[in-house]
Amino acid sequence: MRIAFIGDIVGKPGRSMCSTYLQKIKKEYAIDFIIANYENASHGFGLTVNNANELLACGIDCMSGGNHTWDKKEVEALFDSHEILRPHNYPQGVPGTGCKVYEVAGEKLAVLNLMGHYSMPYTDNAFRCAKSTVEALHAQGIKNIFIDFHAEATSEKRAMMMLLQGEVSGIIGTHTHVGTDDFQISDGTAYLSDIGLSGCRDNVIGMDKKIPLKQFLTGMKGHFDIPKSCKKILQIAIMDLSDGVCSHAFKLKYFDDARVIQTDAWREE
């Protein structure tokens, strides 16, 4: 199977890039299943029902969340009606789930959403949750497992790779909105510390620069806004999986000025 992953979709600019390019990408690269992180999709904070429907209509099959999952209260109803996840390591009793299994190209694919600890809301231990969930999936005969690890610290993301390499098909980090250059395949597991945002590329992590600059210059906080106009980017990782192993992976950057940049994952021998 060939799956794809899009990191933090930030506001209308990110949604518009998905609307413009995603069907084209899906057809051109023969993608069977698309996963995307929604937690910044609605004006930068959370997800509305309308925006969920908009993104799923673009060709996205499953959406994962993070620390802004709960910013729009209407998201709770979506867990029962849409293919939407929230971090799996929230305590028992929290609405929704962070793990779903799908039939893709004749094989089963599990999508697992986890959230880190540094500078994040309170959750159960992400590493223990990951280990026990992966063990349970293996016990069910499910080998193809993809993880969106929504975390601030690259050390946490790298440690998750060390814990699970050879046990899952892919681990890609989200949250920082800044893409890293460490896309690799090690022991059959694709790994990237952060895929980077899809949205405005000429401001501050997808947000208008005015308030961040004011905060850094004066210490005075304000409400972050999505720019009314900006230069945009769509960042997407594509992975070939079979029998639990990632055999090939690459990342595409689509710019709104028609440029496309491809970076292949290197193989760690």
Catalytic positions are 68
Tokens of 157: 């993301």
Among 36, 43, 92, smallest CA distance to 66 is for: 36
Among 69, 44, 40, 8, smallest CA distance to 224 is for: 44
Where are any strands of DSSP class E within 79-151?
Answer: 99-104, 107-115, 144-150
Cα-to-chain-centroid distance, residue 92: 23
Q: How far apart are CA 116 and CA 101, in angstroms?
A: 22
Among 211, 200, 51, smallest CA distance to 65 is for: 51
Look up tokens 């210490």; give the residue.
219
| Secondary structure element (H or E) that encloses residue 239, with its range | strand 232-242
71: amino acid identity, one letter: D
53: amino acid identity, one letter: N
What number of H helices and E strands is found in the chain?
6, 14
Return the number of other C-beta atoms located less than 10 Å from residue 105's C-beta: 13
Q: Say if residues 212 and 222 touch (Cβ distance below 8 Å).
A: no
Q: How far apart are CA 111 and CA 39, in angstroms?
A: 16
All residues at 6 or more sequence positions from 247 whose CB lies less than 8 Å from its CB, including other chains: 185, 240, 241
